[in-house]
Amino acid sequence: MEKPVIMNRINFVGLLVGLSLACGLIISAVQVTRVWLHIADSQVINVTGAAREDIVSDKATWTGSFEVEGEKMTDAQKKLKEDLAKIQLFLNTRNITNADISTITIQRIKPRSNNGMGEDSHDKTVGYRLRQTVWFTSSDVQQVVDLQKQSGLLVEEGVQLDDHGIYFVYTKSAEAKTELLAAATKNARYRAEQIASQGGRKIGGLRSARMGVFQITGRNSNETSAEGVNDTTSREKTIRAVVSASFTME
């Protein structure tokens, strides 16, 4: 005697599910229709186009600095001269004759006061610290990379060397940016055509275009910045360009 009641409940639930699906389809159809109508009525379409290019740095600069200390200025100068000779020999044996070496910077070493309040009240000099910087720039990027790797040999010889890393650049970035802007604009037009076709329209001429900032990042990096990224730590890079374009519609 309870089976008809159960069947009625099942039929009622099925009816509700069917009505929900039907309502969902109707709402979706209305939304799509509104998009088509908007496209059909509009005379202008605004889209964003993007393009990217993988590049390899064609110029690099390695920088390092070395320093010595001595109780007397003459002692520090002698040590620095000896270290400089080691560095020049290191460069010459690798056929590097165009490296640059900075002038000497001098720092007076002061004693610490006993009460920990700063320097001694008599401002006495107890030693001297001398420092110089060496840097090498070349379009042979691998040579620069190899030089950095081998610079550890100087440390083994007693040179207090600080490695400041390699600065990688791509000298043809201006040409690449111009090509990427054209590619990004072409991509914007393609996207506009795809959207306009949904409303039965065709794209006319380019009305306006606004260039976004370029992002030059390390390969496979998603880093972005409102001011634009210009990575100099990676040998392999990617340049990204974005264009906001406005097209007329026929």
What does the angle CA 198 – CA 201 – CA 203 come to, to the nearest 5 degrees? 110
pLDDT digits (tens, 9 = 90+) for 155-201: 999 999 999 999 999 999 999 999 999 999 999 999 999 999 988 88
pLDDT at 110: 87
Average pLDDT rounded to a whole number, residues 45-62:
97
Encoded amino acid at 221, one letter: S
Of the listed ranges 45-54, 128-137, 157-166, 194-203, the least confidently predicted one is 194-203
What does the angle CA 209 – CA 212 – CA 216 come to, to the nearest 5 degrees? 140
- Specify the CATH number of the domain 60-168: 3.30.70.2970
DSSP, res 208:
E
pLDDT at 41: 56
pLDDT digits (tens, 9 = 90+) for 117-126: 554 555 788 9
Which residue in the block uniquely carries the two structure tokens 């000298």? 171
Which residue in the block uniquely carries the two structure tokens 């264009």? 243
Domain ranges of the chain: 1-41, 44-58+170-250, 60-168
Q: How confident is the model at residue 114 (pLDDT cuts 50, 70, 90)?
A: low
Phi-psi domain of 89 (left: phi exceeds 0; alpha: psi -120 through 50; beta: other):
alpha
Query: Into which CATH architecture does domain 44-58+170-250 fall?
Result: 2-Layer Sandwich (3.30)
Best mean pLDDT range from 31-45, 92-106, 110-124: 92-106
Q: Which pTM was predicted?
A: 0.75
With contact defined as beta carbons under 8 Å apart, do 182 and 228 qualify? no
Average pLDDT rounded to a whole number, residues 227-249:
95
